[in-house]
Structure 1
Amino acid sequence: MLQQTIITALQQVRKHKPLVVNITNYVVMNNTANALLAIGASPIMAHSSQEMPEMMSFSGSLVINIGTLDSVWIPRMLFAVEQANLNNKVVVLDPVGVGASQLRTDTAREIAQLAQRLIIRGNASEIIALAGEQAQSKGVDSLDSSDTALGAARYLLETYQANVVISGATDYVVTNEHTVALKNGHEMMPFVTGMGCTLSALTGAFAAVGEETGLAAAAVLGVVGEIAAEQSTGPGSLQVNLLDQLYQIDQENLLQRLKLQQV
């Protein structure tokens, strides 16, 4: 059943080409926009509060990434979440670097508290820090393994009524219905900047067509990263091959390679 959910979600994204509004960081705008296009969605990087009510009225979802946070962006992010709430749209929160500074931690928690339909996608250290536990981090990089964040993810699920995706060597998707472990991907992927941000953007695309757990995005990116790494000699070629594989991924490859289990 989980495999069929993933396949159906991919088909729906390619059929409906949902518009995904991204308030994201300067480092990854190009990466995430190209990833959304490759999977079949339609990205827009909209940061102005003046157009946000209109944008959220016809978009499929909102992705907020706090990677390059400052005092100008914070009110815009909160206003965008309010508009998403008014239009009953899913918000995907990527709490980049939470725990590295109080500003990031406070802002991520404020966004999580405000959003009414929420998916949180972060690495283990970010998930642990967002939940209020001590995490090991080095800037935006995680020094915690994803399985150590399961308790924190369940706390976030209960506190914010949010589905939670923990990315790492093993990805975990934590919802009220189940906890799923995904063991795809490749050890080269962390050497490409914004890989987690790409997962958050893809999560927004799938949420826009009704797959609100984060499972489909994590599964697709894991399998795609695995295939792309086999064709790559390093992180540079991996970036290019990953986009090509997002464009080419099909049901057969997903079912053949997918390694998931409920835990």
Structure 2
Amino acid sequence: MTDFAKDLIDAVIATHVALRTQTPLVQCLTNVVSSNFMANVLLAAGAAPAMVDNPEEAAAFVQVAGAVLVNLGTPTAAQVEAMRLAVKAAADLGRPWVLDPIGAGGLAWRGGVAAELLAYRPAVIRGNASEIIGLAGLGSSSRGFDSSNDPADAVPAARALLAHSAAVSASGPVDHVLGEYEGALRLFRIAGGSALLPRVTATGCALGALVAAYTAVAATPVLGLITAHVHFALAAEQAQTQAQGPGSFVPAFIDALDAVDGPLIKARARIDGTVLEG
């Protein structure tokens, strides 16, 4: 292992410890499909969820939240207004917020909402490859609700989105994370996970919430993003060894999120980093 790789793993472990120590409160403005699973993922990982997504309370709650997640999976007019208020408050207060742009590239109304929210500069944009490509305006054939593109195909789109955010990731069999780290723009590839993840609803949404939790405690958004992907991938790998199929995978995954620790990260994390030129 190179010195850079060792130092990065050590930083990931330190960020994981910070999550468990600080138990950040994550305000989740998310879709109706994901709420329960997302809350359980945050609790198992070591964070605290709060599903405060109404216009009357959204902005005020940001004051006590460590980070905010905005997920565009099933937006209503009221929820979108709450999102506008929450991200404005986050920007005013210096709270990190994460955008999960489900369907933004394929549906005009929510695409307009996503473009409006980008003006408030999310700390992180996280999606599958199709969502990242769609949000950046590339590849009109991208469906945006599931990943029909390889994460490697989303790298140009992710790089373009760095104009709006400090870090961007496209998840898939090998997650691709872009952001500045140690003075250079880098692409990180994080291997692991499980083929059962896309067979369970809201796993990607829950990853977005975990990203928000880590941005609340990490030294930089890209380090928080990397650590969230590593934690998620290792838990999925562990859960797959216990599961008989998608149904039994879910409880095994929740248990595995709780079980991930520093020694497991050191032994099993697979991160490859490349400096991007130009």
Letter in 2 for 1:194: A
2:128 to 120, 123, 127: 123
Q: Which residue of 2 aligns with 1:237?
A: 248
Q: Does 1:146 align with 2:157?
A: no
Query: Which structure 2 residues correspond to residues 45-194 of structure 1 after superposition, within 5 A?
Result: 45-115=51-121, 117-138=122-143, 140-157=145-162, 159-177=163-181, 178-194=186-202
Q: Which residue of 2 aligns with 1:228?
A: 239
Letter in 2 for 1:154: R
Structure 1 CA distance, aligned partners of 2:265 and 2:141?
33
Structure 2 CA distance, aligned partners of 1:135 and 1:142?
14
Q: CA deviation at 1:106?
A: 1.5
Q: Which residue of 2 aligns with 1:24?
A: 30
Mark the CA change 1:119 to 1:139 in structure 2 (over 3 Å): closer, same or farther. Answer: closer
Q: CA deviation at 1:138?
A: 4.0
| 1:87-139 superposed Cα distances (whole Å, 9 cap, x missing partner) | 10001000012222111222112111223x42000011111111111154446
**What percentage of aligned pairs have identical amino acids?**
34
Q: Is the 8 Å Cα contact of residues 136 and 144 (structure 1) preserved in structure 2?
A: no
Q: Which residue of 2 aligns with 1:207?
A: 215
* Aligned structure 1 segments of 4 or more residues deviating by more than 3 angstroms: 135-139
Structure 2 CA distance, aligned partners of 1:255 and 1:136?
39
Letter in 2 for 1:254: I
Q: CA deviation at 1:26?
A: 0.4
Q: CA deviation at 1:49?
A: 2.4
Structure 1 CA distance, aligned partners of 2:270 and 2:140?
28
Q: CA deviation at 1:161?
A: 3.4
Q: Mind listing any 5+ residue stretches in structure 2 that lack a counterpart?
A: 1-6
| Corresponding residue pairs, total | 261
Mark the CA change 1:161 to 1:120 in structure 2 (over 3 Å): closer, same or farther. Answer: closer
Letter in 1 for 2:221: E
Q: Which residue of 2 aligns with 1:250?
A: 261
Moved more, 129-138 or 29-38: 129-138
Q: Give TM-score scaled by structure 1 length.
A: 0.95
Q: Is the 8 Å Cα contact of residues 135 and 144 (structure 1) preserved in structure 2?
A: no
1:34 to 34, 40, 49: 40
- SS of 1:12's partner is helix
Structure 2 CA distance, aligned partners of 1:252 and 1:118?
28
Moved more, 185-194 or 103-112: 103-112
- SS of 1:175's partner is strand
- RMSD, matched Cα: 1.3
